Structure formats: C-alpha cells, structure tokens
Amino acid sequence: MSRVIVEAEPEPISLNLDRTALVIIDMQRDFLEPGGFGESLGNDVSLLGKAVGPLKTLLARARRKGVFVIHTREGHRPDLSDAPRAKVERGAPSARIGAPGPMGRILIRGEPGHDIIAELYPAPGEPVIDKPGKGAFYATDLHTVLVNRGIESLIVTGVTTEVCVHTTVREANDRGYRCVVPSDCCGSYFPEFHEMGLKMIKAQGGIFGWVSDSTRILSAMG
Ligand code: C5J
C-alpha cells in the first residue's frame, strides 16, 4: 500500500495511491483551444489554458506512480438521441448542441472539437468516459469502472470548475468517494466562479471534499 498525506484545505487528506484515481474532466479542444466553440461564444479560453501545464505535470507523475488515470468527454450521439430537449433547445440556434461549429458539430462525439487536447491525450489503456451530462457519473459506467479497480479516492481536475468538475465532485461525494481538487488543475471562463466553486467544496469542514494544488500533491506523491 502506498499511503501519502496531501496538504489540503480544510485539512490534510490521506490517500492510498493504489486506490486513488486521477480524473481529468472534459479537457476537450472545443472548450480549450483558440478557434473552438468556447471561444466562439466570446469566452477567454486562456483562463482554462492555465490549467494545462500543472495538469500535464500531475498526469505525468500519476502515470509514473501507477495511479489510475481516467478521462471524460462531454458530448452526445450524432443523432442527438441522448440529448434532452432542455439541453439542446438552449441558446442561439447557431450555438446549440449539434449545430455546425468551428471544429465540427458542437459537442458531438467523433467531431474534432469533441476530442481531448493533444497535451493531455489519453495513453493506451486509460479509460475515456463519454458523458452526456455535466456530472461524470450520470448515465455512464464510471462508478462500475472505479469499483472494479477498488478506487476509494479521486483527484478531480479539468474544466470547468463550477460546472462539470463541481457536479462530478458532488456526485462522487454522494457515492462515497473522497475527492481532492487541485485548484491549479481546473479552470473556468469566470474567475469568480472558479474561486467560489473551490470555496464551496471545502466549506463547512469539507462538505464535498478537499482543495489542494498540484505542488502539494506532487510533493506528497514523491
Ligand atoms: C463543462 C460546460 N465541461 N461548462 N461543460 O464544464 O458546459
């Protein structure tokens, strides 16, 4: 057993690295790359890009230490049969799920913009969970994959802090996982939402989990 103590708020968290997964949420081209769907909506994608460097370092260390790595992608079937109308019929018609975007149809599986950015591309054998919702547990087999690996703790990273990362942490907490979020390995188009999202996780004695950063996690991992 490889147990480490990670400095975090509201208190240090003890992780058995053999039973910990690094979960990388939705680091997709359309959310992060200049010229993608996120930027076409007027967002400053460099705010998300700040997370790539620290996350790349954490991913490399996790791989070296044998920590289970899992990736997710938000998206839908090309025929939109798994996309609720409430989600599809939102926003300007040209910016809706399934509409033609700058990197292919918006949030459709198999389109270039739906793919994971090159810097964090999944290695062979690392599961990729295609999720139709914001939370990575909703309508996916993520829980089964984690249970089968004996995972009890998650390092949750990715974008965006207050949407898919937050929803996933809440879902994970309800399913009994202990979650730590490295603040520099996630990001939001809205810096104030990023800050508040992290505050919400660690408030009230860690109501949904713990917040740390890549430096403190790397130092604990060794
Ligand atoms: C994610 C979103 N991944 N903001 N999606 O957070 O729609």
Query: What tokens appear for 47 in the block?
Result: 């705010």
The count of C-alpha atoms lying within 13 angstroms of the C-alpha of 165, restricted to the half-sphere facing its C-beta, is 34
- Determine the Cα–Cα distance for residues 144 and 150; give it in Å rounded to an integer: 10
> Which atom of ligand 1 lies nearest, measured to the CA of 165?
6
Q: What angle do CA 60, 118, 195 make, to 5 degrees?
A: 70
Tokens of 46: 């460099």
pLDDT of residue 217: 98
**Which pLDDT belongs to residue 146?**
98
- Report CA(55)–ligand 1 centroid distance (Å): 17
CATH classification of the domain holding 201: 3.40.50.850
- In tens digits, the chain (222 residues) has pLDDT values of 699 999 999 999 999 999 999 999 999 999 999 999 999 889 999 999 999 999 999 999 999 999 999 999 999 999 999 999 999 999 999 999 999 999 999 999 999 999 999 999 999 999 999 999 999 999 999 999 999 999 999 999 999 999 999 999 999 999 999 999 999 999 999 999 999 999 999 999 999 999 999 999 999 999
- Domain of residue 120: give its range: 3-221
Output the CA–CA distances (angstroms, integers) from residue 128 to 26, 31, 115, 141, in the order listed.
10, 17, 11, 10
Of 164, 179, 185, 186, which one is the catalytic site residue? Answer: 164
R_g over Cα of the chain: 17
22: tokens are 């690094």
pLDDT of residue 117: 98
**What per-residue confidence (pLDDT) applies to 88?**
94
Is residue 130 among the annotated active site residues? Answer: no
The answer to whether the pTM exceeds 0.85 is yes
Give residue 31 CA to ligand 1 midpoint distance, Å.
Answer: 8
Ligand 1 site residues, Cβ closer than 6 angstroms = 26, 74, 159-160, 163-164
164 is catalytic: yes
Rounded to 5, what percent of the chain is helix, strand, coil? 40, 25, 35
Q: Which of 47, 134, 166, 169 has most ligand 1 atoms within 8 Å of its beta carbon, as the pocket-test mutant?
A: 134
Is 186 annotated in the active site? no
Q: Which protein residue has the closest C-alpha to ligand 1 atom 5?
A: 164
Which amino acid does the sequence have at 200? M
* Residues 101/113, Cβ–Cβ less than 8 Å: yes
* CA 206 to each of CA 24, 155, 162, 215: distance values in angstroms, whole numbers, following the listed order: 21, 15, 16, 20
Q: What's the total number of domains in the chain?
A: 1
Minimal-distance CA residue to ligand 1 atom 1 = 164
**Could you say which of 30, 131, 186, 213 is catalytic?**
131
